[in-house]
Amino acid sequence: MGLGAATGLRNARRSSRMGLSETLLDANKKSKVVADCCTLVDEEVASKSGLSGLAVKAGYAAVKGIKPGFIQQVVEKLLPEFAKKLDPIWTEATSSGNPSSFFTSNRSRIADALLSITDEKAKSSSSGVVRGTYEKLRGSAKKNVEEAVPRLAQLIQKHTA
């Protein structure tokens, strides 16, 4: 086995022993994880079509307009809670042998886990724009989060490899 392969194997073993939170929030990775999460959200919003897509895009634009970098700040703030909530599910996913497939098969469970966090945050938000937009879009949120789960699995795999 070459030096590069041995190092990769050692890093994979170390990541598998570390929890998802520790891995994603590692000081050397966190900024890249946050950037990739922001890209994921941007791509998911851009992929929406029809009347519901217009509503999602308008809501996202309103929230992004609160202040420059707002989405990144929100992702940074939510990432620790999201990672903690997803940690046991990710452990199951990696044990299954195919994390992406496991996540896709469990997209409803994953959406519920993530939305339980955003529901609480939206309730306590001091921004009327955030609360109002969230309330208007919450009805379709689960469907939208479920649709994002395959990309989320790929993002997590990228940063835990």
Model confidence band, residue 134 (pLDDT cutoffs 50, 70, 90): confident
Q: How many helices (H) and strands (E) does the chain have?
A: 8, 0
pLDDT digits (tens, 9 = 90+) for 65-105: 888 899 999 999 999 999 999 999 999 999 999 999 999 99
Contact call for residues 14 and 141 (beta carbons, < 8 A):
no
| Measured distance CA(42)–CA(149) in Å, rounded | 14
Judged against a pLDDT cut of 90, whether residue 117 lies above it is answered with yes
Contact call for residues 72 and 34 (beta carbons, < 8 A):
yes
For 126, which DSSP code?
Answer: S
Contact call for residues 13 and 149 (beta carbons, < 8 A):
no
Contact call for residues 105 and 150 (beta carbons, < 8 A):
no
pLDDT digits (tens, 9 = 90+) for 12-64: 444 445 789 999 999 999 999 999 999 999 999 999 999 989 989 998 998 89
Instruction: Note the pTM of the prediction, 2 decimals.
Output: 0.81
What single-letter amino acid sits at 99?
P
Give residue 147's domain range.
3-160
* Number of domains within the chain: 1
> Which helix H or strand E contains 106, and what residues bound it?
none
Contact call for residues 85 and 113 (beta carbons, < 8 A):
yes
Listed in order, strand segments (DSSP E) in the chain are: none
Helix (H, G, I), strand (E, B) or coil at 27: coil
